[in-house]
Amino acid sequence: MRTKIAIIGAGPAGLMLAHLLQREGIDAVILESRDRDYIEGRVRAGVLEQTTVNLLERLGLGGRMGREGLIHTGTKLAIDGEIFRIDIQELTGGSTVMVYGQQEVMRDLFDDAAERGIKIIFNAAEVRPREVAGSRPYVTWRENGTERRLDCDFIAGCDGFHGVSRGCIPKTVLKTFERVYPFGWLGILADVPPANHELIYANHERGFALASMRSATRSRYYIQCAVDENLADWPDERFWDEVARRLGPETAAHVVRGPSFEKSIAPLRSSVTEPMRHGKLFLAGDAAHIVPPTGAKGLNLAVADVIFLAEALTDFYQSGSASGIDHYSARALARVWKAERFSWWFTSITHRFPEMDGFARKMQVAELNYMRGSRAAQTMLAENYVGLPLQ
């Protein structure tokens, strides 16, 4: 088999890249180790930046999102139960975010990929990028026990944090910058109406909590927990009691309890791998960087990367210029680092850290109170939250 771009991974980065290339008439094949149901079943991100919304619309994939997604013009912060609002629309000159789950985005991308004949090979085992530093890269994998090979011009490693692509960059070249946080998020999904029509990010003495949603009838709540927390120790009632306490009485009065149908713990990590290109291999999305979910940036960063990568590859095939692909890593990383900073900062002012003493907690409260009264500070949060420009 031969194609121009071999894409590894059919998550948001890989699938979005395939759509972008397909619209430009650039041939690509996706190799994915799982099946479609597994990918669509993963409960992950919930908030789309304006940039991501714009891209889905540009690709003609905004139909269901426009009908079912919830446009949010503001977000809320709480300090020990006291709430204040950040008017993100007003502070950014009109930008908003869209609450539309990653599962829904994936469903729309897969449905349309099938209609457009985008080629995806599911259940591909032992996928390996080969000869990435040479002039004739290829990818091998096993399909029903048979070894297969895909020759290509370039390989896009969109295979997430646990993928194989990043490991193909020699250790002498690869630099990783990392912060592992001493806590995780325990999240639940329940078919109950949200406590508030906007998200509430809460800093509480007992730890962080987030009230989010998927629709007017489906809520997503998170609480900060220990990384080694046992799910079995968190029956629904205990979770509801804890989240209500951390959100504070004003919000707790509106928390509608119900049985959870999903409950999981996600560890929190900041990580960036440089460079995002080695020879014929490009990394995009979680394969190259991870952010803690506090800023709602993970999926959106993956999308920004592939917008840059698709532009670079399109330029290469249309004008023969390699300058776009040569600049891809630096261009993507410049924006990635800003989102890393925002996600790290937002995590640091909202969570309880084990080493935190009275002074450190007072600093958090002071920072949030400053934010509450300062248009400049609110604008910083708002412009990052809706997504920085694609430069």
Look up 293 and say whether it is catalytic: yes
Min dist CB 100 to ligand FAD, Å, is 12
> Which of positions 229-258 make contact with ligand PHB (CB under 6 A)?
none
Please tell me whether residue 194 binds ligand PHB under the rule CB under 6 A. no
User: Would residue 297 show up in a list of annotated catalytic residues for this protein?
Assistant: yes
Among 202, 296, 303, 368, binds ligand PHB (CB under 6 A): 296
Which member of 69, 157, 293, 324 binds ligand PHB (CB under 6 A)?
Answer: 293
- Interacting stretch for ligand PHB, rule CB under 6 A, among 41-49, 52-60, 107-115, 164-172? 41-49
Answer yes or no whether residue 47 interacts with ligand PHB by CB under 6 A: yes
Q: Residue 204: name its binding partner from ligand PHB, ligand FAD, none (Cβ under 5 to 8 Å by kind).
A: none
Taking CB under 6 A as the binding criterion, the range among 40-48, 103-111, 306-314, 348-356 that sits at the site for ligand PHB is: 40-48
Residues at the contact surface with ligand FAD, assessed by CB under 6 A: 8-14, 31-34, 39, 44-46, 102, 124, 127, 158-160, 162-164, 266, 285-287, 293, 296-299, 302
Catalytic residue selected from 138, 201, 222, 328 = 201
- Would you count residue 75 as binding ligand PHB (CB under 6 A)? no
What does the alpha-carbon distance between residue 6 and residue 174 come to, in Å, rounded to a whole number? 22
From ligand FAD, ligand PHB, none, interface partner of 220 (C-beta below 5 to 8 A by class): ligand PHB
Q: What are phi and psi of 385, to 5 degrees?
A: -65, -40
Least distance to ligand PHB from the beta carbon of 99, Å?
Answer: 7
Shortest distance in whole angstroms from residue 283 CB to ligand FAD: 9
Residue 10 contacts which entry, ligand PHB, ligand FAD, none (Cβ below 5-8 A, type-dependent): ligand FAD
Residue 294: CB minimum distance to ligand PHB, A: 6
Q: Does 165 bind ligand PHB (CB under 6 A)?
A: no
Active site residue 201: yes
Q: Does 350 bind ligand PHB (CB under 6 A)?
A: no
Confirm if 276 and 21 have CB atoms less than 8 A apart.
Answer: no
Indicate whether 65 belongs to the interface with ligand PHB (CB under 6 A): no
Residues serving a catalytic function are: 72, 201, 293, 297, 385
